[in-house]
Structure 1
């Protein structure tokens, strides 16, 4: 065996926190050779195959760094894969061929020829029975291992197909093309199951998560998108790179995502939270290929024009073994679709509100739960919505649901549909016959239970205390004040921007935004009468999370037909568009250089808060929109300020903002709050919410304006923006 020189690096990046594990990451070995275009670990992790630009495949021992063997091709390989059973190594590339190498007898077994252009990507099904290939000729072909004629050829793509992947069960395939379209085919019945626009520009990489729940795609719009594999809803959008996303890989337990980009960075992140847990130093060029070792104690990367493959050692990254076992059972088709059951029977009631109780059990993660009536979806919940209420019983995940439903006169029949990666189950509910009372008129209050709380509230002796928020704000509950089921609140505190974006340091964060949001959240529960189930509380919210929360409020206001009262609070970065001067709220994964696609326009937010004639909407925004910020700012190095465009306020909306014009919204470091929010909460604590909107407006304008000079030696004057439609009446509005 030829010994390949191995370079050891002493570059250690220290201990990084991955969930509950301390993980040490360092550049472990570097294997000399030509530039690699694709990488693949063998199923046992003992071999690493590199598709080498110089028309060959090189296979290396991952422990010793020795070259085990290589074989020549007629063109540059672009994709390489081991079969899951470890018997074959399959490659494809610019020669428009697919080469199948037999690892047991060390020979090229056969070559597949059918594509008319470069074969850009291949994958092999979990049972090592089929190969799928994608090509610049806009086709996707399915082959049976051992046969040289394709079983099926799909020609639905409108652009060249750059990436293709099998579902963990092997029942479907996905592909992404140069037009940004993502395709999904059912290969058991040979038809196109889904086709939708996933990216603006090329899709470079697609994959199913090993647990089958999600479809992931990366493209030239710098995004890694996550879709439900069942109904293709956008679940998450990761904005962790500053240039094209070229490649990514997913850990075997579906917890971690390793990605490489044209920005030159290799990034390891937690899929569920979007939090970056490791970022490499900037490489000399863009990342061409990455792959996880099966046991995840290593991952490999290749860089454009670099004559070496880097292997990175992840010393203590323990995978979730339960997740791996479920994925293995899924692959072997040992898991069934969920079961649905009801605890109630057919009944007759004179009460217009009915609480539907049901139970969903699944051997793996529940993907979605729908409640329908007459074909219309009333509720839709994903795993993220229900995961905190899941119990595990005898190898099953069990969710017990309870939904308040508004009955129609006569017979009511609902359907509960539950899905997982295997399939779906639909079951009709018991029949509920509503007999409307003749003599008694009742006022029915519709309670919306779908909004779930994301933070726990600590209560003791009728008090709710804010812990570790600087000033010890303590809000005493008013026991005489009932909660108002028509009141809803969305509270957002975006502080840790650097944890979600490459190229940002901690100085770009918004100090004390978590404290600010926590204080307002606690006050809303204690004194605004907002029921806990009507609160949405987000810390370090990404773009997709903020958009979903706003849309949830829109759905609530539509359902309540003018009876909803909405409170919105935001602490974090704001930024204006340089050309239009339109102000935007910036999610933690949002870019001030790409506002249209990664931030929320303030005009859009205001419109959504009142689109369904909300009874009253009140917004508090502790952010500035001039380009300045509490500390150095998201783009402080640009050294300019913009006077943002004034926003149109309509209907029953009133907005309290932390500053005016091109002023910055400053911190109150001694109190560990934003200056505006500190005095807002101080007045709310003093009055317990017994204050009119006009009194609060006058107090904030004067107090913050004066204190800003005294504390920060800068001008900061809050503004109150009022819709012309409520002129003459808003002054007497009160918060209770």
Structure 2
């Protein structure tokens, strides 16, 4: 009886092992399909999708195949289908961080459900305060939801009435700011909101100060910046820009001096007017004391800011640099042309 029992057990194990080995082989083949699809996801996303779906057919529990189906759909511009695919995938794999980040990104970037996307990113940060991708998603949610002024009507009277009726922009982005446990004590930020201009020919930017204040709150409450490490300016002059970011000859301004070498992230936010030089087409930040007749002499060059920050980051071995600009550099505004005497 004992011998028969052993033979019976071995026979059962042998019969059961067949499907297991076959299933493992199928999943091995699925990995090859996923790898091949990964090479095509940008150039041939439809073909990549087909490969990922075949991988999922062979190995239904493959989280990578499910995730990549969502990516390939998004690469094809099928945003809603991509969201649905990622939701299904997360129902079965709720801890898949890449899928959560991708879902949040699509919801925010494509304006499908930015509030939901922001909430997903915040939940990731609660679980892992050091998740850099989630930090960037929270900032993306903020910048994508910044209010914009309405398009200008052709009738000047209607325009005046419209501008007068614009309330101070307040939304849940401004007020429903969560508090996380993230700490970034060495990070340095520059936040500038330029709403009001001395030159009577330069119109105000209605939401600039509100946007700057909201960004400052997010930096402190969500991303763990120290309030004392935020250089915050309202209606900054040309001299302020020079003092903070440096000049063409000397880039060691206030921002440079605030940094701790090798440890300080840099975050820059600007909301206000931008303008082009009509001759060189170079973009400029428009300080509060700029002259609309001489933008190239009284404004701060966009290229200079990028060049100086690149030099600063190299000198100070900066881990991360974030630059967010909420501005238009066409020279046109909803209240008329910013540049004067330009043909």
Does TM, scored on the shorter chain, surpass 0.5? no
| TM tier relative to shorter chain | 0.3 to 0.5
User: TM-score, structure 2 length as denominator?
Assistant: 0.44
The structure having more radius of gyration, on CA atoms, is 1
The TM-score, its normalising length taken from structure 1, stands at: 0.21
Q: Which has the higher helix share?
A: 2
